[in-house]
Structure 1
Amino acid sequence: MRKRGCGLINRQWTLASHPGGEVSRENFSWSEAPVSNAPPASGQILLQTELLLCAPTIRNWISGNRSSYYPTVEVGSPVIAPAVSRVAMSDNAAFPVGARVLGTAGWQDYQWVDPALGYRIIPDAVSSVDALGVLGMNALTAYFGMLDVARPKPGEVVLVSGAAGSVGSIAAQIGRIVGARVVAICGGAEKAAWLREACRIDDVIDYKAEDVATRIDALCPGGVDVFFDNVGGSLLRDVVARLNRGGRVALCGQIATYDGAAGDPPLDMMRIIYGAIRLQGFLVPDYAHRYEEAMVQLGGWLEAGELAHREDVRDGLSQMPETFASLFRGDNNGTLIARVSDESGRLI
């Protein structure tokens, strides 16, 4: 076995309680303990976490609502997240010490894993931040959700909620790239300006300063053809009421209800039936066999200057609860990432 260091101490956040509303530091418990220098099973590797992605869906994982369609983090177990890690020790020739890998990690510094369970090496040409950001899970979600689920056509009107976020901004730009007319919904003047200037989305609605339904009517007098929805709640109801016949809704997220807000208001089901409207949820792992295709296309658009992106990288594992909670306040700008260690392995 090749080793890099020994006598390691693992800092770790476990789930202390299931959030009943807004996520707070009290929902998590901090501990420090030695790391075993021996793999639990043959072929395993010890990963040192470099970056952790703060994704809204993690709120579902820690909610306490057991489900067959997303992971459940039990009280006392490490919180998990998509991550970039480095191989610190290896009993697997395909994953040498020092290699960077993409896969799930706990909110912690170190963990032994079986690399066959969804871990893949990051090419040298791709930065760690890009691997979680513009070429990461959220970008793949936008790619498949827009092109395979929503399927906008040139000239159609596409509405995107949460459009300044990590998924929404890529989805909105893909809509523009394929020739649709995109209307983006976001919160705040700075985010609206970034969508217009950097992402080249001409029509933007600031829900913090404008009445969204009134603005949709003004910007989309002929109705909406496609809705890429990251928000849910009353917004979904209002947009369904404005969908054209044959309209499509890509149900990506429901962030309006993640913190225990009131349940979704009822949709006009007869409008959906008579309007031949399609509402479809999706999960990006269902497209795992096409990740390479998507990354090549996203990389090509990025190189051609067609994709603007930004990452909000915040230092410190000890601040992880506050960093994660900020996602639901909407005060992050771009893909929210926590840095746990630097390229040399120094803990942060």
Structure 2
Amino acid sequence: MAAYKAKQILLAKRPKGMPTLENFKFQEIDVPEPALNEVLIKTLYVSVDPYMRGRMSDRESYVPPFELHKVISGGVVGEVIESKSPDFNKGDFVVGQLGWQTYQLVQSEEIRKIDENLAPITAHLGVLGMPGLTAYFGMLDIGQPKNGETVVISGAAGAVGSTAGQIAKIKGARVIGIAGTKEKLSFLKNELGFDEVINYKEYDVYKQLKNACPNGIDVYFDNVGGEISDAVMKQINHQARIVICGQISLYNLEKADVGPRPQTQLVIKSALMKGYIVSDYASQFKDAAEELAQWMQAGQIKYRETIIEGFERIPEAFLGLFKGDNIGKYLVKI
């Protein structure tokens, strides 16, 4: 017997280049009553994230591609409407990798309870969720910033970049953020305390970096790739660490990117370049989230959210990621 009618968003066809609204399809389904160990969730907030673009293509990656004509999934915060699991009660707030749909049945092991007293529930999709953990492990395990070093972050006003920069500041580094609007630059410098900011849409990024980093670059946290990263690589120091977190400037290219090759610089500077995915650190998530929460409560980490309202606007928000519409975490309130 159907308990609720639910709206869903499916992957209608795989995008070539930049996705459009035609790649998404809406439909309505019946959601039955929960069975043993199942939980009925009402979706409250949906996260849109750049990595989802890779899952829209039918190619091998660190996560399987989305299936055609099936519901798209991502980070979701929801409320328990009905539970047949001893681990969850009606009214609990939960987070998980769930479908883009308004109501859904999930197995109890697919979700975890969140404490709304620790932080607003949306924080569990941002600074206390996957983006915050991504920043934490990339910066601390690979970047390893030291007191007085220079750290450069591209895509610095996004959910990951803004947290990564603040973590570097906590460790005593001098932090330079790269972003694309005056509003984002103001957020980084005036609210988050970045030491210098660079607008990549203005004059030559290489020259701006030269001025901002007179002693070279010790850590580069790379969220964007492309020409911005080429400019950074020319200025890395001996034993620099380059953290490859994302390459958003390349995700919608229809042909493979060809650019300057970094190997010579890595050899000359005895530098490390390492890519990673946050699930590599799954066994450490709990401790990391606790430390992030402590820094947040102490005022050492601040965050911003861009929230738009309406289930039907989820595709719009996703496409907005690639136009730089958001500051901080981009969420849709259902």
* Pairwise TM-score range, normalised by the shorter structure: over 0.9
2:329, 2:184 → 1: CA distance?
13
The equivalent residue for 1:15 is 11
Map 1:235-254 onto structure 2 (within 5 A): 235-254=228-247
How much has 1:241 moved relative to structure 2? 2.0
How much has 1:311 moved relative to structure 2? 0.5
1:88, 1:200 → 2: CA distance?
41
Is contact 1:45-1:115 (8 Å) kept? yes
Map 1:36-185 onto structure 2 (within 5 A): 36-39=32-35, 42-67=36-61, 69-117=62-110, 119-125=111-117, 126-185=119-178
1:329, 1:270 → 2: CA distance?
33
1:124, 1:206 → 2: CA distance?
36
Question: Aligned pair 1:271/2:265, yes or no?
Answer: yes
How much has 1:38 moved relative to structure 2? 4.3
How much has 1:133 moved relative to structure 2? 2.3
TM-score (norm 1): 0.91
| 1:76 counterpart letter in structure 2 | H
The equivalent residue for 2:200 is 207
Question: Aligned pair 1:320/2:308, yes or no?
Answer: no
| 2:141 counterpart letter in structure 1 | D
1:6, 1:70 → 2: CA distance?
32
The equivalent residue for 1:290 is 284
- What SS class does the counterpart of residue 257 from structure 1 fall into? coil
| 1:58 counterpart letter in structure 2 | M
How much has 1:46 moved relative to structure 2? 2.0
Unmatched tracts of structure 1, length 5 or more = 341-348
How much has 1:334 moved relative to structure 2? 1.7
Unmatched tracts of structure 2, length 5 or more = none
1:238, 1:115 → 2: CA distance?
47
Is contact 2:305-2:329 (8 Å) kept? yes
Deviations 1:267-318 (A, max 9, x none): 2312212321111111112222222222222222222222221101111111
The equivalent residue for 2:29 is 33
Which stretch shifts more, 70-79 or 83-92?
A: 83-92
Partner residue of 1:256 out of 240, 246, 249: 249
1:171, 1:227 → 2: CA distance?
11
Deviations 1:17-75 (A, max 9, x none): 11111121100011012112243xx42222221111111111111122233x1131011
2:213, 2:9 → 1: CA distance?
46
Is contact 1:15-1:78 (8 Å) kept? yes
